[in-house]
Amino acid sequence: MSTQDSKTYHEQTYIDNTLRLREILKTMPPFAKDYFRAIEPKSSAKTRISYAYDIRIFFHFLMENNPVYKNYKMDQFTVKDLERIEPVDIEEYQEYLKVYKGDGNKQITNTEKGLARKMSALRSFYAYFFKHQIIDKNPTLLVDMPKLHDKAIIRLDTDEVATLLEYVEHGGDDLTGQRKVYFEKTKNRDLAILTLLLGTGIRVSECVGLDIQDVDFKNNGVKVTRKGGNEMVVYFGEEVENALKMYLYTTRKSTTALPGHENALFLSTQRRRIGVQAVENMVKKYARQITPNKKITPHKLRSTYGTALYKETGDIYLVADVLGHKDVNTTKKHYAAIDENRRRQAAGAVKLREP
């Protein structure tokens, strides 16, 4: 059995998320527990938390907008209430989700993607009780799901990647005082993280979960824990090797991590394992300087790597494997689309009049 000190990042995250889900379930109708228990084997704790938040919004909507439920408290809902809902109620809920008031009266808006996710959560919730013949009606099946439009994939161009890394390396050269001290203090770590993300395409959650012993310079690979808990070695090139060594032999070596964080590869300035949000903020901070018109996140760095790998190899199955996609169709959708250069070729390919 793992002790508190020997738990890996992923084990601890699972425990934290499981406890968090239990707290959320206390604020939902009692019968909701059955659904979350049922989906536990085939979903991550993080997914279940997202579903719990999304489904809870539906019951809040009913209490706020449906005359039948205006005097209800959350624990008064029973599974039979799901049958009393008509398709029109679901349609009204879909409309409600576009703009509604969340916790603390904060206004929340949903994009197409957010809307689709919340409706998918509700459909899954209903499907469980319908499939197990606990309810006889499933109104979510009679309502069209919101349409998702393809968006242009945002990624860094080759010259932007080089400029970004150059900026992290030399952005502190013209600074003075405390700003220079802070820039220099975090430079090697930030450069190592960005180079690793851009050079391997690993997810930000996989990056922050890395321990020092997960890095193997003999074979130039990092052992990552993928979605679903599978472990896999992702290999890296010389640029990633150099950035990691520079960080490990300088900043990381001279930093004494706080108890419980000794094994973490990447540390925050508070000497704890760096978190996902800290990496997201760091990526945004640097990217704003280089590409102010592109909203760059760690996931966009993953897209940048996937696109570059596909262009170099033309092997969509290799890209899917390296990125840890379970379904190659996900990869095809993102990386095998006709690129801009081929579109430009199309512009001059068709002649309207013979010269």
Q: What is the pLDDT of residue 269?
A: 93
Q: Which domain holds residue 101?
A: 9-142
Q: Which two tokens stand for residue 75?
A: 């624990």
pLDDT at 276 over 90: yes
DSSP 264: B
Residue-wise pLDDT for 58-101, tens only, equals: 999 999 999 999 999 999 999 999 999 999 999 999 999 999 88
Same domain, 324 and 269: yes
Q: What's phi and psi for 288, nearest 5 deg?
A: -60, -35
Per the domain annotation, does 92 fall within a domain?
A: yes
Same domain, 18 and 133: yes
Determine, yes or no, domain membership for 260.
yes
Question: Is residue 147 situated within a structural domain?
Answer: no
Domain boundary among 142, 175, 196: 142
Do 172 and 72 share a domain, yes or no?
no
The verdict on 223 and 284 lying in the same domain is: yes
Q: With bands split at pLDDT 50, 70 and 90, how would you rate the model's confidence at 300? A: very high
pTM of the model as a whole: 0.82
Domain-terminating residue out of 112, 142, 172:
142
Q: Please tell me the predicted confidence (pLDDT) of residue 147.
A: 81
Give the pLDDT of residue 3. Answer: 43
Cβ atoms within 10 Å, residue 155: 21
Residues in the chain, total: 355
> For the sheet containing 221-225, what is the strand order?
215-216, 221-225, 231-235
Pair 73, 187 in one domain: no
Whole-Å CA distances, 203 to 3, 147, 275:
27, 27, 13
Residues 222 and 285 occupy one common structural domain:
yes
What letter does residue 227 receive in the DSSP assignment?
G
1 located within any domain: no
Domain assignment present for residue 153? The answer is: no
Judge if 201 and 268 occupy the same domain: yes
Query: 195 and 311: one domain?
Result: yes
Percent of the chain with pLDDT over 70: 94
Burial pattern 176-202, b for ≥16 Cβ within 10 A else e, equals eeeeeeeeeebbbbbbbbbbbbbbbbb
Count of domains observed in the chain: 2
Distance (Å, whole) CA 8 – CA 260: 10
Whole-number pLDDT of residue 329: 85
Residues 220 and 310 placed together within one structural domain of the fold: yes
Q: Which residue has the higher pLDDT, 156 or 354?
A: 156
Residues 126 and 162 both lie in one domain: no
Last residue of one domain, picked from the residues 92, 107, 142: 142
CATH number of the domain within which 243 lies = 1.10.443.10
Inside any domain, residue 150 = no
Give the pair of three-digit tokens for residue 79: 């599974």
Same domain, 169 and 80: no
109 and 237 in a common domain: no
Is 352 part of a structural domain of the chain? Answer: no
Q: Are 226 and 282 in contact (CB under 8 A)?
A: no
